[in-house]
Structure 1
Amino acid sequence: MSSYHLMEIEFEHNRQKQVITPVILQDEIDTILIDCGYPNFVPLLEEAANRHNVTLQSMTKLIVTHHDMDHVGSLAALKRAYPHIQIIAHELEAPYIEGQKKSLRLEQAESTFNTLPDEDKPYAEQFMALLESIEPIAVDQTVTHKEKLPWCDGIEIIHTPGHMPGHISVYFSASKTMIAADAVVIEDDKLAIANPQYTMDMEAAIRSVQRLLEYDIEQLICYHGGLFHGHVKQALQQLIHNYTCP
């Protein structure tokens, strides 16, 4: 019997209260964590897991949806603490996670730095330093679009680029649950595109929302916003309409 747990983690970042929602999938064999927060989040992850009577020691796999620092920040620390964990990511994201290629978010920040007002540059420098501090870690298994994996009664990888080129969402078929990561977020109880100003490819991001509509979704979980309360298909269609119809 498989199940999932929303690991809502509240914290303060840049003097603002924030919440992220990593997810744990679990059956009799595997405990799979999807995304792992900022650097130094291992204690917060342990506390969140314990609230669901899960220990990180029992974790067998960690799926990384993309290489933004709030999704991979504690990846290396977790691998050191629990070396048996298998790290899984899309084949396009692996070179960034492993440090073979410079972070696209860092390249983006560097390319806009000189256009910033002087008062914003210290924050930008701090942001870039944090990105540079993310430790690379080897990816044990790469995945591709529509790849079906047998864990937890079956999960499917959905390539949902736009936010990042190798961004993935995960469909948990046993409960018809879509773990969307940053393909969509929840803002004011509505679905939205995550940080449109920083989205690498907005057209691809909208196509990825359309791709989600191909699945029978009863629960939609966003990394920023948690569990969506509402009619999922209608909300996804409305989001597409907002961006494609003037």
Structure 2
Amino acid sequence: MIKIEELALPYHYNNETHFIYPTLIIDNNDLTLVDTGYPQFLPMIEQRIIALGYKMNDLKNIIITHYDDDHIGSLFDFKVKYPHLKIMASAIEKDAIEGTTKSERLLQAEKMLEVLPDTQKEFGQAFIKQLTCLKHVQVDTIVSNGDCILSNECVVISTPGHTSGHISLHIPALKTVITGDAAIVEHNELKIANPHFCLDIETAQQSLHSIKHMDVERYYCYHGGKIERAIITNK
């Protein structure tokens, strides 16, 4: 039997508290974490998992939806502490995660820095530094659109736009989609995550449209948390 737990993780930005929502997939006794939060989030994630009654030794996999600092920030720390973990990602994201190519986000940040006004240069430089400080790990399993993973209970969905290799996860038995940043919850709507950092708005809109029209009952969004289809507004 498969189930999902939502991990609400607070972080502070501009003197405000915000949350991100990695998900934990429970497949019988095996645990799979979807995305790892910002750097230094490993202890907080461990606390949440243990508080839910699970054991860290049962964590077998980490699935990375895409390369962004709030999604892979603690991936290296997880791999160091739990070397048995299998890392899954799409082929496009794999190269950035392993450090064989610059991530699309870093390339975008470097390009944006060239045109940022002086008042925003400091932010741009800090963002680039944060991205370049991320440590690399080996990806064990490349997943593609339509792949059935986790005892065939979870279907990989290609949802490009936010990044080229972004993936989401469909769990048919639960009528659920784990969206990553292909969709966020805002005012009871599913929207594109942070359009200013979206690499391809048109493709992202297509991915969002596909997600919205799937035969599912709920969405687990990394930004905004879980939302039931019944309360989504269609504006």
Query: Same-fold call, TM > 0.5?
Result: yes
Aligned twin of 2:35:
35
1:66-121 Cα offsets, whole Å, 9 max, x none, are 01110001001000000111000011110011001102111111111132221211
Q: Give the Cα separation in 2 of the matches to 1:20 and 1:196.
A: 17
Letter of the 1:174 counterpart: A
Please tell me the root mean square deviation across aligned C-alpha atoms, in Å.
1.6
Equivalenced residue count is: 235
Aligned twin of 1:158:
157
Letter of the 2:81 counterpart: A
Tell me the TM-score normalized by structure 1: 0.90
Letter of the 1:48 counterpart: R
Aligned twin of 2:131:
131
Aligned twin of 2:202:
203
Q: How does 1:21-170 map to 2 (within 5 A)?
A: 21-151=21-151, 154-170=153-169
CA drift of 1:55 comes to 2.9
Q: How does 1:158-237 map to 2 (within 5 A)?
A: 158-213=157-212, 215-231=214-230, 235=233
CA drift of 1:12 comes to 1.4
Preserved contact between residue 9 and residue 21 of structure 1 (Cα < 8 Å): yes
Structure 2 unaligned blocks of 5 or more: none
1:216-244 Cα offsets, whole Å, 9 max, x none, are 21111100000114437x65xx47xxxxx
Structure 1 unaligned blocks of 5 or more: 240-246
CA drift of 1:206 comes to 1.2
Q: Give the Cα separation in 2 of the matches to 1:222 and 1:58.
A: 24
1:186-223 Cα offsets, whole Å, 9 max, x none, are 11222211011111111111111232245321111100
Q: Give the Cα separation in 2 of the matches to 1:123 and 1:207.
A: 30
Q: Give the Cα separation in 2 of the matches to 1:113 and 1:27.
A: 43
Aligned twin of 1:242:
none
Q: Give the Cα separation in 1 of the matches to 2:55 and 2:120.
A: 41
Percent identity, aligned pairs only, is: 34
CA drift of 1:14 comes to 4.6
Letter of the 2:189 counterpart: K
Question: Could you list the runs of 4 or more consecutive aligned residues of structure 1 that deviate by over 4 angstroms after TM superposition?
Answer: none
